Structure 1
């Protein structure tokens, strides 16, 4: 596989036609080597618009979802970010280049360990990886502190506790739904008790582990 040609094709033939036009985001996706974050047996599909299995019935989001999520979150250099679901560490690396610091929590220790190895290899230092269950560990998040929250798995309903961790002006990406088609949302905290919710697109993602199956929620 011609890696650089495949990367260029991903950007020019997949991402731009889907409205990913922010040059900063395109530069990040050009510079962070996605192929190093893909399990070896799937390396030839590193730039294809497919959800790549990473174990534990979880997947690496498609390049299109990753790019549109990063564009919607509009991460600024001073932003403190939280990622729910480290996965392979690819989005962690992208957010680390865009923001000031990234806290990333992963349920599965082996995924977190492999993500740390990849991030260290690329000398990504402004990340803090932890292993835990976000649905059980709310005591770690006592006060609103995050400018950006990215949830990389779907949720059958909104999670108000998570939204409360946004500072005023903070943005959260979440995919809500229990079955296809699920809805990708950008949630912005406008004031202490005021949230703006913008529907972005329809998609499909495996669920955040720990949620019981519930009916699809509608805002």
Structure 2
């Protein structure tokens, strides 16, 4: 399979046509080998409009949705970023000049993506998704959905930091962007999306009598 040609087709047919016009972001997505973030027996689906499997039930976000989240954070060279359950997005941010840490909760997932992340200059850590590694980030991004406002992630942002994630209730979800100001957080809706939920990021069941 000609992966370089497939990347070009992905950017042309799934990214540009979905209002992702940032040329630096497009170039980064053309350069990052998405196939290296898929399970070895699923690399053929890396550039299709499907959620390519990594391991243990984890998948990569659809290219157009990942591109929209990446576009929303407006990454700048030299910024720090935490990619929570977002190995591909983390590699793209590194290509854009950010200093990136990729956090995974499952070692089996990290075993698949670690070589590509290392080549991209991305640091890696294994920790539960509801416990973000470190603090003071300019960017936090996730390729999985969360069921509740991820307050711990918001608290890990620096002032001026941005969080891009999909908030999902049932079958419906919405990509959102949070911005941390000196006096709190603002939130902006971005687009409809419904990627799989991240482990540990669903609401606790409520009981009533």
After TM superposition, is the score higher than 0.5?
yes
Residue-by-residue CA offset, 1:77-130 (whole Å, 9 max, x unaligned): 0210011114xx32221111123311121111121122222233xx322x2211
Decide which of 117, 120, 123 is 1:119's aligned counterpart. Answer: 117
Output the aligned Cα RMSD: 1.9
Q: 1:153 touches 1:175 (CA, 8 Å); kept in 2?
A: yes
Q: 1:180 touches 1:203 (CA, 8 Å); kept in 2?
A: no
Question: Match of 1:102, SS?
Answer: strand
Q: 1:80 touches 1:99 (CA, 8 Å); kept in 2?
A: no
Question: Match of 1:207, SS?
Answer: coil
5+ residue gaps, structure 2: none
- Provide the residue aligned with 1:206 in structure 2: 196
5+ residue gaps, structure 1: none
Distance 1:159 1:95 in 2: 21
- Provide the residue aligned with 1:158 in structure 2: 149
- Provide the residue aligned with 1:96 in structure 2: 94
Residue-by-residue CA offset, 1:26-55 (whole Å, 9 max, x unaligned): 000111111222223222222111111222
Cα gap change, 1:35 to 1:134, in 2 (>3 Å): closer
Cα gap change, 1:152 to 1:3, in 2 (>3 Å): closer
Q: 1:178 touches 1:214 (CA, 8 Å); kept in 2?
A: no
Count residues in correspondence.
205
Distance 2:79 2:176 in 1: 20
Question: Match of 1:6, SS?
Answer: helix
Q: How does the TM-score come out when normalised to structure 1?
A: 0.86
Distance 1:13 1:59 in 2: 21
Q: How does the TM-score come out when normalised to structure 2?
A: 0.89
- Provide the residue aligned with 1:185 in structure 2: 176
